[in-house]
Structure 1
Amino acid sequence: DLLRKHKTPRRPAPKKPSSNQKDPVGVYCRVRPLGVEDEECCIEVISNTTIQLHAPDGLKANRNGEFKETQYSFKKVFCIKTSQMELFQDVAKPLVDDLIHSKNGLLFTYGVTGSGKTFTMTGSPGQGGLLPRSLDMIFNSVGPYQAKRFVLKTDDKNGMEVQNQVDALLERQKRENQPTVVPKTPSRQRLDPEFADMINPEEACRADGVDEDSSYSVFVSYIEIYNNYIYDLYSSWMEMDISKLLREDQNHNMYVAGCTEVEVKSTEEAFEVFWRGQKKRRIANTQLNRESSRSHSVFIIKLAQAPLDADGDNILQDKNQVSVSQLCLVDLAGSERTSRTRAEGNRLREAGNINQSLMTLRTCIEVLRENQMCGTNKMVPYRDSKVTHLFKNYFDGEGKVRMVVCVNPKADDYEETMLVMRFAEMTQEVEVARPVDRPICGLAAGRRQKNQAFKDELSRLMHQLLQNLPPLPASEITDPHDDITLPRLIEVLEKRHKIRQMMTQEYNRAGKMSMLQELDSSLVSKENLIQDQRGQLGEKDKTLHSQKTEIDRLEKKSKMLEYKIEILQKTTNIYEDDKRTLQQELESREQRLQREQTEKRRMEQRMQGMVQDTKNKWEKECTGPPVRAVHRRSHSAGGERWVDHKPSSNVELDTVMQPILGSNAIKVSAPSEKALAKCDKYMLTHQDVASDGEIQTKLIKGEVFKTRGGGQAVQFTDIETLRQELPTGPSRKRRSSEGNTAQGGDRMEGDWTDVETRCSMAVEMRAGSNLGPGYQHHGHQK
């Protein structure tokens, strides 16, 4: 997510030349023959543009006969008697003609499994389909004007590079032994018999208006889209399972990254690439077709056109002048219902992916149609499928789009055929922008024809020269005294030499004249070109001046806006500071208020606790403490004996009044089970610091009882306080709940009947405990 937030923003797409004119997608329909003559048919060809669907008898019976016949119209309907040549003339030949004139094209076949899509695209021996006929027309048209191999070279970014003759020669020598990269022209005997001799020579086609002052190179590639993954069918078997990625070039056109693009020089070479890839296509045997395509195949033909230099001999070394156009021939996998094919496992998954990609194609067509008819601007989901994502540029106006809908007239395919017809009818309503012409800025201007004419004239003159020379006489000498043969031979040779000099002078004079004429015409054409360019430069200067004026105005406006933005920024900062200060003050007040509310709640809880304690105190005062059933020790066992419990941390004080416990008291510094067993009374001496800083001693007294469990318990009944003060200090008062001042101790403040002065704490000690005496508290003490 962080990478997505901080990645480089996508640059806007450059404005491409587009035409205001739009053409609808050309949709054609082809009806294949029935497999069995007496099989029930559900399609009838009404005219060359209309077909009619009839519901099968079984379907009418199931729907109570309420099923109507439906008609569908197309740009053209091809019946079962239509030949492959007629289909090519109407459908693919205009696209090939556009390809040669630097325009793109897309042609795909669509239909149910077993409807004849592959036959329409590929064909059979003697009945070549759209693909081989397109290749044959391309090479028949540009064959004489092809550049040498590797002069034009594709790069890895869907672009084209131009190499000089030396680099091209070195690369040809380097790759001579790499037939997988550069296929040699195969003979018809080396081709698979299934694909050999697919086109009759009398059916050859040729495009008109080929630019003879340009050189051409043809590149082909073959891919398949299987389970929404792209695979290169021309790659080696080891790399066959490596899927390819779709990328976008600098002109925002989609292409398959890393796909092998092979430069071919003939129809046989191009068909060799197709034949090798066809062997790797994924096909399977289903209930509807013995060899059903399980993937969408795409055969891409890319034509590069480069202008010649001024001499008309070599390609202009400027890759920006190279025009690249491409024609995509797509054989879509057939849509099918798994209930009919009875697919399981991999076949079921393949059918699901095929149907999903075709559904995405339908969705894209629906959104395009809705945007054009309703004026909406919904996003077309091209990216939901590799098929639609790869060809999105064509629907955006990068070339013509043609679709051949293939149908099988048998009744079993009626429902699938009806869905195909509805999709085809909707596709015809989508309009695609008409591509504009891309002119080639060459410098040859007919130089190729002039060079050829000059070569023809030179050969004619040489032939005429040889004819005008006198024949040589017999030069055989049989007599040593022969004085006639040699002088005659010398005379004839001298005449031939004079005639040759005259012809050479005439040829040079004619050549110079022609050269001067050509130079004059070239200069005139170049002057005209210069004048045109000067006029264009003048217009561009005006445009640049207006643009510069507009830029200056925008810069001034930008500076003014920047000044305003700066002022607003400063004002915003001031407001932000004030806001921050007020926010802090508000937060501090809220915190203080919260503390006050917390303190208030704490005080309320304390007051409630005090009220509850007072309430409990008076309830206990009114009800009295519960009488505990304890066992008092007998006083006849030897008189009262005290346990004097003084912790070792106590400080010895010189208090005037000290308790007298008698000589038989047992002194301990920690609770002792043995001492409790021998005594009747218990006194705990406790020291703490009073509020005035003086040390006060508290004598906590109690009685020892036996418990039912066999131990001893102490019930504290009285607390005396002893305090040592300075002579100047306030007088001390002694109070006792019983008025008894025995033991010399000061009574605790408060009446004995006050609950707060009571202490009913008991310590129960059990015999045999390893942890010492235990304490059990009863009552409440403050």
Structure 2
Amino acid sequence: ILLFFRKCKTPRRPPKKPSISFYPPVTFAQVYCRVRPLGVEDEECCIEVISSATIQLHAPEGFKTNRNGEYKETQYSFKKVFGVSISQIELFEHVAKPLVDDLIHGKNGLLFTYGVTGSGKTFTMTGSPGQGGLLPRSLDMIFNSIGPYQAKRYVFKTDDKNGMEVQNEVDALLERQRRENNSLLLQQKLDPEIADMIKSEEAYKTEGVDEDSSYSVFVSYIEIYNNYIYDLLEENQEDAIKPKPPQSKTLREDQNHNMYVAGCMEVEVKSAEEAFQVFWRGQKKRKVANTRLNRESSRSHSVLIVKLAQAPLDADGDNILQDKNQVTVSQLCLVDLAGSERTGRTGAEGTRIREAGNINQSLLNLRTCIEILRENQLCGTNRMVPYRDSKVTHLFKNYFDGEGKVRMVVCVNPKADDYEETLLVMRFAELTQEVEVARPVDRPICGFTPGRRHRNQAFKEELSRKLDERGGPIDGDVPSVINSMVHCLPPLPSSELADPNDDITLPRLIEALHNRHRIRQMMIDEYNNSMLQELDNNLISKENVIHEQNGKLVDKEKIIQNNKAEIERLEKRTKMQEHKIDILQKTTKIYEDDQRTLKYELETREQRLQREQSDKRRLEQRMQGVVTDTQYKWEKECDRRVNAMQLEMQNKLWVKDEKLKQLKAIVTESKTPGRPDPPPRQTQQEPLPAKRSASPSPVPTVTPVRPLHRRSRSAGGEKWVDHKPSSSLDLGTVLQPVIPNSIQVSTPSEKALSKCDRYVLTHQEVASDGEIQTQLIKGEVIKTRGGGQAVQFTDIETLKQERKRKSSEGTPANGDHTDGAWTDVETRCSAAVEMRAGSNLGPGYEHHGITKRRKP
């Protein structure tokens, strides 16, 4: 993600003084590419370095990039491409060295690394022991260039408004004494392995350093975490019981419309080791975490701001000019951006997901700013660039307006797993190189004659040499004192000669000269005596001062010894505390892992409980519906059974009533005199005498059809699907299930079901007595939400038959009367009633009726 400049539609603010720029008004952004070596040698590589400025991307196996399913190779060009064999010093020479030169000459610069997680951004910026990165090498070059011209500590002082003030020597001395007496922070020695990162194979220096100026370096270190700015150098009082969280900082704009972090701690440093020690102290506080892709993944954007304060010397070349307007402040920002990542690949969860989301959002906003800048430049539009949507773009807003150079190092990992993210990085880098960058103007300089420091130093060396040759400051100071005393001597007489024979003027002049010489010699002797006396007094006072200073030195040595002992004690305590901190960090990590695991289990159980509760609610609703439907069906079934039972009981009453009537008629007929005897035999077709015309006609004794199971609802309007399997057997019985207005099928189909309302399935099975039992399983055809059909079975009708054989003597098996046994009145009545109420079945068969079962 890049920070670049837009083509300004409105004029920039006018400079304080006109000056000549050594750069063209606009140029293009400079983007460099660095390829990281593969971690495993046999791993698939998707990047190939074609030349010193071009790389080519190969799609890995299985990754299709066009519609034809073919692999696509793309090339991208940069200012310079650094392969896997490039060293840190070569990278510094091409990328960071020009920015350091601009910093010392009063120009701002911005350098940052960009890429996906694990591409080598932090290594490029910071480096490792023995292989220092861009940051330590830049610090080393700065102090190699301005080392002899640095001002004393606290001569330059920040005004907390992004400006610098100059103090005189007395105020700076008092400030140093106050800081040394009140400061409890003891400088610790830098780790030798870390200090080795600062050492360079070659001591780089900047050419053309202004020798008539004094310099001072200030360092500040911040991080942007979750779109909040935190000061990594801020000293917080540690509370083991209730630690105080760090306070976020705000961005403000100074009087020159430059953005800065308000309340950020700026430390004045006097060497590269001290500056790197300050950086390393803040680096320990930076937010890092262990992810699936990187063991120490940066979770924030870190920004190291190096400010260089520069002020000219006065006309004599001794002291710094006490003029705030002559102070020039330039800064170099070294930014290590956090890598973009996909949560699916990193396996992040909880806090890590929120961090990754904020990182990706800030990088996306930076991409949006670059796209709008490019659109404004190419299309001539004047769209507003959303700098304030992210702290990263808002902090470096001044660089968008042309306040300094901007360079970017794109770090890429050639492994195939990062191909998609690398492709997006390349496209963005290619887009950024087309953005025009406004060049900064030169800083105004003072109007004093150059070479003041060198001349003053040469004069002091010459004066010291002369004093050493003459033996002290007495003889050397005599001529100047005597010259001042010449004006106090008696005046000379007139020396005008009017006559060549004048013998008065010359002797008088000679006498006056002798007198002046005598007076001058007396004054010299008196001056020498006074100077000797003053020198003796000075020597005595100097001896007293030296004795006093020796006493103070002894006291200071005692204080130093005590401080050394205190330092050793504190170092031991620090090591012990660090050991405890390591133990606590490990314990905290274990607790965090346990907490993450328990949290995941809790979330899983909550989700499972929610699913179970949802299933339970659905099941309750379904069961409630089933209970309602079942209750309704059973109510109908109960009503039907009650009606059927009432009808059956009424039929039985009618049958008994008819039997009694017939019996009464027979008895009455048999007792009436003169009536002929009844015929010997009566068939079942003879009608029974009906004497009671008013009485209701008898109901047939066949099993009544229940009105609930009528075969049609509206006079035969229903259609049935009669499903009879091909394996059904014909039993040859008199009663056969015949369904009118039906479609007979052997296999049900969607087409047949869509045309019918009811469905019946014929099923045969062998009963326990060996006879074949036929079941008619009936149901209703309903439509589903998906547009299909479904069958809901409602009841089952069972057809069962029993076979009875006659006895071998030809008599009925149940002991009934023979064909001619009609003499008994009771036998005739029972036979007539049975034949009238029974069914017309074939010989040897007995009909047991139809058994019907409802199935919900």
Q: What TM-score results when the alignment is normalised by the length of structure 1?
A: 0.57
Q: Is the 8 A contact 1:395 1:401 kept in 2?
A: no
C-alpha offsets along residues 250-298 of structure 1, whole Å, 9 cap, x if unaligned? 1111000000011111111111110100000000000110000000000
Correspondence 1:55 to 2:59: yes
Residue in 2 aligned with 1:428? Answer: 433
C-alpha offsets along residues 300-334 of structure 1, whole Å, 9 cap, x if unaligned? 00001011111211111111110101000000000
C-alpha offsets along residues 514-534 of structure 1, whole Å, 9 cap, x if unaligned? xxxxxxxxxxxxxxxxxxxxx
Residue in 1 aligned with 2:351? Answer: 346
Q: Is the 8 A contact 1:225 1:297 kept in 2?
A: yes
Distance 1:336 1:301, change over 3 A: same
Correspondence 1:85 to 2:89: yes
Q: Is the 8 A contact 1:46 1:52 kept in 2?
A: yes
Residue in 2 aligned with 1:656? Answer: none
SS at match of 1:59: coil
SS at match of 1:52: strand
Q: Is the 8 A contact 1:153 1:160 kept in 2?
A: yes
Residue in 2 aligned with 1:306? Answer: 311
In 2, Cα distance between equivalents of 1:99 and 1:349: 37
Q: Is the 8 A contact 1:254 1:390 kept in 2?
A: yes
SS at match of 2:341: coil
1:368 to 349, 370, 373: 373
1:126 to 130, 136, 141: 130
Q: Is the 8 A contact 1:369 1:430 kept in 2?
A: yes
Q: Is the 8 A contact 1:101 1:210 kept in 2?
A: yes
In 2, Cα distance between equivalents of 1:354 and 1:503: 72
CA RMSD across the alignment: 2.7
Q: Is the 8 A contact 2:65 2:72 kept in 1?
A: no
Correspondence 1:381 to 2:386: yes
2:261 to 241, 256, 259: 256
Residue in 2 aligned with 1:229? Answer: 228
SS at match of 1:438: coil
In 1, Cα distance between equivalents of 2:202 and 2:306: 21
Q: Is the 8 A contact 2:314 2:320 kept in 1?
A: yes
Correspondence 1:446 to 2:445: no
Equivalent pairs counted in the alignment come to: 463
The amino acid that maps onto 1:409 is: P
In 1, Cα distance between equivalents of 2:72 and 2:26: 35
SS at match of 1:41: coil
Displacement of 1:193 in angstroms is: 4.3
Displacement of 1:61 in angstroms is: 9.7
Displacement of 1:505 in angstroms is: 6.1
Distance 1:27 1:179, change over 3 A: farther
State how 1:320-331 maps to structure 2 within 5 Å. Answer: 320-331=325-336
The amino acid that maps onto 2:348 is: A
Residue in 1 aligned with 2:613? Answer: none
Distance 1:174 1:32, change over 3 A: same
C-alpha offsets along residues 501-559 of structure 1, whole Å, 9 cap, x if unaligned? 699869999xxxxxxxxxxxxxxxxxxxxxxxxxxxxxxxxxxxxxxxxxxxxxxxxxx
Displacement of 1:455 in angstroms is: 2.6
In 1, Cα distance between equivalents of 2:200 and 2:375: 46
In 1, Cα distance between equivalents of 2:182 and 2:347: 45
Residue in 2 aligned with 1:214? Answer: 213
1:246 to 248, 251, 263: 251
Distance 1:508 1:256, change over 3 A: farther
Distance 1:50 1:504, change over 3 A: farther
In 2, Cα distance between equivalents of 1:348 and 1:453: 65
Residue in 2 aligned with 1:112? Answer: 116
Q: Is the 8 A contact 1:311 1:444 kept in 2?
A: no
Distance 1:61 1:90, change over 3 A: closer
1:334 to 324, 331, 339: 339
Residue in 2 aligned with 1:769? Answer: none
In 2, Cα distance between equivalents of 1:28 and 1:419: 16
The amino acid that maps onto 1:147 is: A
In 2, Cα distance between equivalents of 1:508 and 1:445: 34
State how 1:65-84 maps to structure 2 within 5 Å. Answer: 65-84=69-88
Distance 1:298 1:180, change over 3 A: farther
1:163 to 159, 163, 167: 167
In 1, Cα distance between equivalents of 2:182 and 2:274: 14
Residue in 2 aligned with 1:42? Answer: 46
1:146 to 146, 150, 156: 150
State how 1:278-677 maps to structure 2 within 5 Å. Answer: 278-441=283-446, 443=448, 445-461=450-466
Residue in 2 aligned with 1:572? Answer: none
In 2, Cα distance between equivalents of 1:460 and 1:165: 27
Q: Is the 8 A contact 1:111 1:335 kept in 2?
A: yes
The amino acid that maps onto 2:411 is: C
SS at match of 2:248: coil
Q: Is the 8 A contact 1:312 1:444 kept in 2?
A: no
Q: What TM-score results when the alignment is normalised by the length of structure 2?
A: 0.52
The amino acid that maps onto 1:420 is: V
Q: Which one is further off, 438-447 or 37-46?
A: 438-447
Distance 1:458 1:417, change over 3 A: same
Displacement of 1:456 in angstroms is: 2.8
Q: Is the 8 A contact 1:465 1:503 kept in 2?
A: no
Displacement of 1:460 in angstroms is: 4.2
Distance 1:502 1:417, change over 3 A: closer
Displacement of 1:201 in angstroms is: 4.7
C-alpha offsets along residues 671-696 of structure 1, whole Å, 9 cap, x if unaligned? xxxxxxxxxxxxxxxxxxxxxxxxxx
Q: Is the 8 A contact 2:287 2:299 kept in 1?
A: yes
Displacement of 1:178 in angstroms is: 5.2
Q: Is the 8 A contact 1:309 1:442 kept in 2?
A: no
In 2, Cα distance between equivalents of 1:422 and 1:452: 57
Q: Is the 8 A contact 1:98 1:105 kept in 2?
A: yes
Identity of aligned residues (%): 79
Displacement of 1:202 in angstroms is: 3.4
Displacement of 1:180 in angstroms is: 7.3
The amino acid that maps onto 2:173 is: L
In 2, Cα distance between equivalents of 1:501 and 1:417: 79
Distance 1:502 1:315, change over 3 A: closer
C-alpha offsets along residues 155-195 of structure 1, whole Å, 9 cap, x if unaligned? 111111111111111111111145578x75x6xxx213442
SS at match of 2:112: strand
The amino acid that maps onto 1:376 is: T
Displacement of 1:439 in angstroms is: 2.4
Distance 1:327 1:390, change over 3 A: same
SS at match of 2:260: strand
Q: Is the 8 A contact 2:198 2:273 kept in 1?
A: no
Displacement of 1:454 in angstroms is: 1.6
Displacement of 1:442 in angstroms is: 5.0
In 2, Cα distance between equivalents of 1:503 and 1:180: 48
Distance 1:501 1:309, change over 3 A: closer
In 2, Cα distance between equivalents of 1:180 and 1:91: 39
C-alpha offsets along residues 647-693 of structure 1, whole Å, 9 cap, x if unaligned? xxxxxxxxxxxxxxxxxxxxxxxxxxxxxxxxxxxxxxxxxxxxxxx
In 1, Cα distance between equivalents of 2:476 and 2:339: 77
SS at match of 2:194: coil
Q: Is the 8 A contact 2:310 2:327 kept in 1?
A: yes
SS at match of 1:202: coil
Displacement of 1:228 in angstroms is: 0.1
Correspondence 1:176 to 2:180: yes
SS at match of 2:361: helix
